[in-house]
Amino acid sequence: MAGVAPHAGQSATLLQSRGEEDLPLRDLTEAFGQAFKLYLKSSQHRSPSYINRSLTWLNRLAYIAVDREILRCNPLEDLPYEKKVPPRHRAISREDLQRLLTHPQADPRLELIRRMFLFSCLTGLAYADMQSLYPRHIGQTAEGRSYIRKQRVKTRIEAFIPLHPIAERILSL
């Protein structure tokens, strides 16, 4: 383990762009870590999670070098990781919901998936809650309205969910 060998793609081209083929571990610096991050971000257009994963592996390599007394300390220890982009959750539009309601699927498996998704949309139940849904969880009020009463899987809190008429129809199929 004399140096940082070029790794399948990214670090190899970074080193080659600097006119080097290999980087001895003793020459590993925080500046190299910053340059590696910048290279992945600007030249390779990599996502923050990819950059963080690459930095994690480079950090592990540096810690191995410290353990084997090739380096006195890890120069990449204080190198900041990239902030992850928060996921963009998009709610289903009325038009998309209407299209799902009016277009049954020919394939029975796809039709089951469509009905489960619609049922989830109309009740607000997560997949895990629907997976553990049994007929004993469905009841009727004194007025004759159907409801679901069950303990939610994630929160362990009992939920009382009045059923939309379309959700009732899905259950009766």
Closest of 54, 61, 21 to residue 35, by C-alpha: 54
Q: How many CB atoms lie within 10 A of CB 20?
A: 14
Closest of 107, 127, 108 to residue 117, by C-alpha: 127
Q: Is there a domain that residue 75 lies in?
A: no
Q: At 137, is the pLDDT very low, low, confident or very high (cuts 50, 70, 90)?
A: very high
Residue 155 shares a structural domain with residue 102:
yes
Residue 56 shares a structural domain with residue 104:
no
Average pLDDT of every residue of the chain: 89
| pLDDT at residue 164 tops 70 | yes
Q: Which range of residues forms the domain containing residue 17? A: 3-67
Residue 104 shares a structural domain with residue 164:
yes
Count of domains for the chain: 2
Tokens of 52: 């963080």
Q: pLDDT tens for residues 45-103?
A: 899 999 999 999 999 999 999 999 999 999 999 999 999 888 888 888 999 999 999 99
Residue 101 shares a structural domain with residue 139:
yes
The per-residue pLDDT for 12 is 55
Q: pLDDT tens for residues 72-87?
A: 999 999 999 999 888 8
Q: Is there a domain that residue 77 lies in?
A: no
| pLDDT at residue 158 tops 90 | yes
Q: At 172, is the pLDDT very low, low, confident or very high (cuts 50, 70, 90)?
A: confident
Please say which residue of 67, 102, 120 terminates a domain. Answer: 67
In degrees rounded to 5, what are phi and psi of residue 54?
Answer: -65, -40
Residue 8 shares a structural domain with residue 60:
yes
Give the pTM: 0.53
The per-residue pLDDT for 43 is 86
Residue 41 shares a structural domain with residue 98:
no
